[in-house]
Amino acid sequence: MQRGLVAVIAALAMFPTAAVAADLGPVPQQQVVSHHRVPDRHMTPPQLWAPAHATPRHSTRTGYVKGRVTTRHARLHVRSGRGIGYRVVGSVRPGATVHIRCKKNGSTVHGNRRWFQLSGHQGYVSAHYVRNLRTVRWC
């Protein structure tokens, strides 16, 4: 009897609207459970996200995010705009580290519309061929 009563009281504490429908009759004083906070048992729920100011999305010190070119044999074209229709203004060797300033959408390359603007000049590379090492901010 006592275990069932505790379960009902716990359920009523969890779902206060159920208290209206429950009719247990008179309860002896020794079985009444007071509702108070136990300081040692208070648990803070885990934080599943971090505030934007707590973890920078990109390097605030340098203004860029490092990325690695993923091509194996061919050099990666640096273009004047965000698409394969723009002229080639340079190239980067396979496996090289690049400094990414920001990202924008452009023409699609193998299903990927993102283009990274490189730090230090106005050139763009397709994000399909670069593995960014941290989150890149939008331009």
Per-residue pLDDT tens over the stretch 102-139: 999 999 999 999 999 999 878 999 999 999 989 999 99
Q: Is the confidence at residue 3, as pLDDT, over 80?
A: no
Q: What is the pLDDT of residue 1?
A: 53
Task: Look up residue 13 and give its two tokens.
Answer: 């504490």
CA-to-CA dists, residue 54 to 3, 15, 21, 112, angstroms? 46, 35, 46, 30
The CATH number assigned to the domain holding 70 equals 2.30.30.40
Is residue 122 domain-resident? yes
Is residue 111 domain-resident? yes
Q: What is the pLDDT of residue 133?
A: 87
pLDDT digits (tens, 9 = 90+) for 37-84: 555 554 444 444 444 443 444 444 568 999 999 999 999 999 999 999
Q: What is the pLDDT of residue 63?
A: 84
Q: What is the pLDDT of residue 126?
A: 98
Is residue 39 domain-resident? no
Q: What is the pLDDT of residue 40?
A: 53
Is residue 76 domain-resident? yes
Q: What is the pLDDT of residue 120?
A: 83
Is residue 20 domain-resident? no
Domain count, the chain: 1
Of the candidates 128, 92, 88, 87, which has an alpha carbon nearest to the alpha carbon of residue 108? 128
pLDDT digits (tens, 9 = 90+) for 14-40: 544 444 444 445 545 554 444 445 555
CA-to-CA dists, residue 90 to 57, 120, 124, 139, angstroms? 28, 13, 10, 21
Is residue 88 domain-resident? yes
Residue 107: which domain range?
A: 65-132
Is residue 123 domain-resident? yes
